[in-house]
């Protein structure tokens, strides 16, 4: 199941310019099925669907265009990570940014999404792959997935993170990726881009009502600010290929799983995500 549906018939799907689908976007955003109703009830009251999938339950109801067919021998307790995090970061590097060989990139945030950007950049043979995170424990994780450098902004002396990245990359990064959802970090990511051609990809989702800002001069001088959802990957026609890449050993997935929980431990799984030693927690829905 995928929260990024693909009907293959709407204006979005036929454009060839986006992986977004417009067919059920309005109702999905309201937590409802395509017909405007909910299939879930609790104590006589309707419950809303979550992101079109509602996967934190043993049984669910989804739109047909949100169901993805993958090879039957793919282990669901691993490929489940391709339903969002890994695909989002990996696709951001390979599909949205199309990182070129030798490009210098910076990734802000070393969680599952950020480390997946690193993995995609490695596949595309990027030059310097710089990970930025305030948690020093993330340095080892970053290097494990292929980062060439790690910078902790809290440890910089007399320099901003923008100044440090510009210094490290001879004028600025070719590509930067925000995986934090912090609007201040988004600005820093843009301003760390190289004048004339640098692109900053916003992946992290900011809190409701937050706005981004920068000086117009940053854009007038050639920097590009863009965003992506699900890494630009089409949910039904392209996601199965990533599952195939995992099965062939070309895509790392197992390495992201640091915790496994039962359904009864769901809340502790969320708590684990807040700790620096957790990249992804997988919940076994068959175990109570």
List pLDDT tens digits, range 61-89: 999 999 999 999 999 999 999 999 999 99
Task: Determine the average pLDDT of the residues in 134-143.
Answer: 96
Q: What separation in angstroms does the CA of 61 have from each of 51, 115, 198, 270?
A: 12, 31, 42, 23
pLDDT at 272 over 90: no
* Tokens 């690193």, residue located: 118
pLDDT for the residue numbered 277: 82
pLDDT at residue 104 in the model: 99
CATH of 89-232, one of 3.40.50.300, 3.40.50.720, 3.90.600.10, 3.40.1390.10: 3.40.50.720
Beta strands (DSSP E) in 25-96 are: 40-42, 45-47
pLDDT band, residue 36 (cuts 50/70/90): very high
* Mean pLDDT in residue range 8-28: 96
Candidates 17, 65, 23; CA nearest to 239 is 65
Where along the chain do its domains lie?
1-67, 89-232
pLDDT digits (tens, 9 = 90+) for 145-188: 999 999 999 999 999 999 999 999 999 999 999 999 999 999 99
CB 5 within 8 A of CB 23: yes
Exposure b/e, 47-82, CB count within 10 A at least 16 = b:
eebebbbbbeeeeeebbebbebebeeebeeebbbbb
Is residue 72 within 8 A of residue 63, CB to CB? The reply is: no
Q: What is the mean pLDDT of residues 118-143?
A: 98
pLDDT at 57: 87
Quickly count: other Cβ atoms within 10 Å of residue 117's Cβ.
38
Which tens digit of pLDDT belongs to each residue from 241-270?
A: 999 999 999 999 999 999 999 999 999 998
Q: Count CB atoms within 10 A of the CB of residue 133.
A: 24
Banded pLDDT at 124 (limits 50, 70, 90): very high
């Amino acid at each position: 199941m995928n929260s990024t549906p693909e009907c293959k018939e709407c204006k979005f799907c036929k454009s060839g310019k986006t992986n977004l689908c417009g067919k059920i976007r309005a109702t999905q955003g309201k937590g409802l099925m395509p017909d405007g109703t909910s299939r879930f009830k609790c104590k006589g009251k309707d419950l809303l669907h979550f992101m079109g999938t509602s996967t934190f339950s043993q049984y669910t109801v989804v739109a047909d265009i949100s169901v993805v067919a993958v090879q039957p021998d793919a282990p669901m307790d691993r490929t489940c990570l391709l339903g969002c995090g890994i695909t989002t970061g990996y696709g951001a590097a390979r599909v949205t940014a199309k990182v070129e060989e030798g490009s210098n990139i910076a990734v802000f945030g070393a969680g599952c999404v950020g480390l997946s950007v690193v993995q995609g950049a490695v596949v595309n043979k990027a030059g310097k792959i710089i990970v930025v995170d305030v948690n020093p424990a993330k340095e080892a994780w970053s290097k494990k997935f292929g980062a060439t450098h790690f910078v902790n902004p809290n440890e910089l002396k007399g320099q901003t993170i923008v100044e440090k990245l510009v210094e490290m990359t001879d004028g600025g990064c070719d590509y930067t990726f925000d995986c934090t959802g912090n609007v201040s970090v988004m600005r820093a990511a843009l301003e760390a881009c190289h004048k004339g051609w640098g692109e900053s990809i916003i992946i992290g989702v900011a809190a409701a009502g937050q706005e981004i800002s920068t000086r117009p001069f940053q854009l007038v001088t050639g920097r590009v600010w863009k965003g992506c959802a699900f890494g630009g990957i089409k949910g039904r026609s392209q996601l199965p290929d990533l599952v195939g890449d995992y099965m062939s050993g070309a895509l790392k997935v197992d390495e992201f799983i640091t915790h496994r929980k039962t359904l009864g431990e769901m809340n502790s799984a969320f708590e684990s995500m807040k700790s620096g030693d957790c990249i992804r927690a997988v919940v076994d829905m068959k175990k109570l």
